[in-house]
A and B are shown apart, each in its own frame.
Chain A
Amino acid sequence: MTWTNAFPADRFPSGSDAFPHKHLLGIGGLQTWEILYILKEAEHWVALNRSGAAKHDDRLSGLTIINAFFENSTRTLLSFEIAGKRLGADVINMHAAQSSVKKGETLIDTAMTLNAMRADAIVIRHASSGAVQLISSKVDCPVLNAGDGSHEHPTQALLDALTIMRRRGKIEGQTVVICGDVLHSRVARSNLFCLKSLGSEVRVVAPPALMPAGIEAFGAVPFSNFDEALDGADVVMMLRLQNERMQGDFIPSPREYFHLYGLDERRLALAKPDALVMHPGPMNRGVEIASSVADHVERSAITEQVEMGVAVRMACLDILTRRARRVEGWA
């Protein structure tokens, strides 16, 4: 069963009612059917991306998309850039290192500047929670959150959901274990909101110092013991552990972290025999995940996540620019 059969297109409202938001700031503000709508649209782009040499669709031709990354990124930036270009848009990348941000310009002034350049969509990553929402309130065009501090990273959660949907056939009823630095992870938050919205059971595993307060209120079941959490898991989602958290402030050492929270073959055997391994990247091999697991041909979905990322971002850029492009039912 493919998921597109399970959620046929006629289930969605028509026109802009299918996705009535101007921006994509987080999963937290989305309805279940809005999430499903993006995933359905992304399926179309997966097919195009796999179609061979000419992976092009020019519907965003003439539109300017600015990728404003105030925090370093390789794969997310590349993924958004490819997504925009495959849709025919003019994509400009702005790196914080090259920008006037370093010269003391405020975030609002930078936002106003980007706005004055008449961008048709702005993709933003910023190290501070809430920064993307702040910018979105000051610009006229759609804003896509590519990660803000420890708050949200919605396209990551959408690409993860699409990966699970395709690999497991469904999301509802799946037991997903999210393990790592949940406290500081925007990926964990967005995935939690997304997966709960789509009907999964979500277990979060973290060292005590890296478990956020009150996470149960959002439907997560917290564990401090990874082995226990893995029992009956359909999906194991590992989070990246930032180097600066490993020097004794939050956990004693990378070695001790791997001992308690690293995913190796012994641990993976505790999950369901066909359980899926995921990681948002970039991986710290040997710190949170063993190479033998990360590279496991049948179990690891890590490269597929990257592939789905382009498709999901194409869907988001397409949907959010429909008003500006005066697509019928959206203008």
Chain B
Amino acid sequence: MSGISLVGGHVILPGQEKAEALHLHVEDGKIASVGKAAPLAEQLDASGLIIAPGIIDLGVFKTDKPAFRFGGITRAALMPDQLPVHDDPATVRYAALKGKPDFWVHPLAAATRDLAGLHMAEIALMKEAGAVGVATGRHWIADSGIMLRIMRYCAALGMPVIVHSEDAGLAGNAVATAGETATLLGLASSSPITEALAIARDLLLAEESGAHVHFRQVTTARGLDLIRGAKAKGLRVTCGITPGHLFLSDNAVSDFRTFARLSPPLRSDDDRLACVAAVADGTIDVIASGHDPRGPEDKRLPYSEAAPGMAGAETLLALTLNLVRDETISTGRLFELLATNPAKILGLKAGQISEGFEADLILIDPDAPWQVDGDRMAALAGNTPFNKLPVQGRVRQMLKGGKVLQTRRP
């Protein structure tokens, strides 16, 4: 099989801050070589574009291919919170096949049966069916005993445990973070330490069990301090965040905007700034979309009755490119957060542009301006709290396993 050469673009190589002007050759679905060597017969013009690894979105709630295509996402780890719940090898196997060949879904197995937090699910069987990690779902597991046993089990199986961090007792029925906005609107709220308390316990259990624990979203200064300390101590922990908590604070909820209802709830601006600082200093390992498209039946409701979550796949790249533009991080670092680190956590040989790796590539025009428009999104629903925001950065071409996919025109 003859290959294809991507010529004239700037390639993001592992460990490099900036993209370099290089040719990239793809053969048999893999990255064959990167360098100055003469291009092959079949060429793809990448001039003016950045060639980056396809985004690996760690923790989405729906397989939403049009949105992922728009957003430059070539693989996604699917949360077990599905109907039916992914607590069974058959549902996991089905989910793993669903996106192929042009999109790869990596299912996460439910840690407990029906995600009820009470009894262990068949984790090893689900691993054989294709699960790449174990997740607690949208909620924290309150029972410390079962959580420790799950972590020990996963440590033995070599699977990461992906946890949600909100102490159930403190969270109660809260839909907001305690503070001026929650008080003004009369919304049930809980202290920001709700997150740190859950993280503190799970860090102790991680240390005890030796499991690799990934905190899917850490959104408070206190929580990030705990992660920072654990990493300094040498624990095998990683953490992530979504653009919602990096670019919005709780005042986005004013006027009861249900599109800004997220889980965990949006935080104070001080906490938001601590999150940006944690991206800069390397405490945060992953930025994911948390893609959770929700139609009016879930969102056009009184605030506390509306479902949390935002459709984030299409805006993930453009929003996080702001972190490069404002010099919080380099371009190279951004793709570690979006692709390389998620691949490492999930144990995938992908997420970086190195010889022999899967040729999942995106060609980006990093400055192309466009406007987020919830009414015209590719996603299953347009529930974005960033509606009408002008952004920059569009995916122009996408290769999955070396094959060029059609992309939506701007």
Contact A129 B300 (CB under 8 A): no
In this assembly, does A130 line the interface, its C-beta being within 8 Å of a C-beta of chain B? yes
- What separation, in Å, do the CA atoms of A212 and B177 have in the docked complex? 11
In this assembly, does B356 line the interface, its C-beta being within 8 Å of a C-beta of chain A? no
Contact A106 B297 (CB under 8 A): yes
Known: A129-B256, A133-B256. A213 touches B185 (CB 8 A): no
The interface residues of chain B lying within 8 Å CB-to-CB of A213 are 178-180, 182-183, 189, 191
Point out the residue from A106, A108, A186 that lies within 8 Å of B186, measured CB to CB. A186
In this assembly, does A189 line the interface, its C-beta being within 8 Å of a C-beta of chain B? yes
In this assembly, does B37 line the interface, its C-beta being within 8 Å of a C-beta of chain A? no
Interface residues on A, range: 20 to 34
- What separation, in Å, do the CA atoms of A28 and B186 have in the docked complex? 12
Point out the residue from A108, A126, A130, A134 that lies within 8 Å of B185, measured CB to CB. A130
Over the window 273-313 of chain B, the binary record of Cβ atoms lying under 8 Å from chain A Cβ atoms (1 yes, 0 no) is: 00000000000000000000000110011111100000000
Contact B183 A130 (CB under 8 A): no
Contact A106 B302 (CB under 8 A): no
Contact A130 B178 (CB under 8 A): no
Over the window 74-100 of chain A, the binary record of Cβ atoms lying under 8 Å from chain B Cβ atoms (1 yes, 0 no) is: 000000000000000000000000000
- The B342-357 residues at the A interface (CB cut-off 8 A) are none
Contact B255 A133 (CB under 8 A): yes
Contact A106 B183 (CB under 8 A): no
- What separation, in Å, do the CA atoms of A184 and B182 have in the docked complex? 11
The interface residues of chain B lying within 8 Å CB-to-CB of A120 are none
Point out the residue from B180, B185, B297 that lies within 8 Å of A129, measured CB to CB. B185
Contact A134 B301 (CB under 8 A): yes
Q: Binding site of B, secondary structure by majority: helix, strand, loop or mixed?
A: helix
- What separation, in Å, do the CA atoms of A265 and B374 have in the docked complex? 59
Interface centre among B180, B185, B187, B297 (most CB of A within 10 A): B185
- What separation, in Å, do the CA atoms of A186 and B183 have in the docked complex? 10
- The A136-192 residues at the B interface (CB cut-off 8 A) are 148-152, 184, 186, 189
In this assembly, does B184 line the interface, its C-beta being within 8 Å of a C-beta of chain A? yes
Contact A151 B186 (CB under 8 A): yes
- What separation, in Å, do the CA atoms of A212 and B186 have in the docked complex? 9
- What separation, in Å, do the CA atoms of A217 and B250 have in the docked complex? 15
Known: A150-B187, A189-B186, A213-B189. A129 touches B179 (CB 8 A): no
Known: A28-B184, A217-B180, A218-B183. A130 touches B302 (CB 8 A): yes
Given contacts A129-B304, A134-B256, A134-B300, 20 further A-B contacts (CB under 8 A): A106-B300, A107-B302, A108-B301, A128-B302, A129-B186, A129-B303, A130-B256, A149-B304, A150-B187, A152-B186, A186-B186, A189-B186, A212-B178, A213-B182, A214-B178, A215-B183, A217-B183, A218-B180, A218-B183, A218-B184
The 5 A-B pairs with the shortest beta carbon distances in the complex, nearest first, are A130-B256, A150-B186, A128-B302, A151-B186, A213-B178
Q: List 8 A-B contacts (CB under 8 A).
A: A106-B297, A126-B302, A129-B187, A130-B256, A149-B186, A150-B188, A218-B183, A218-B184
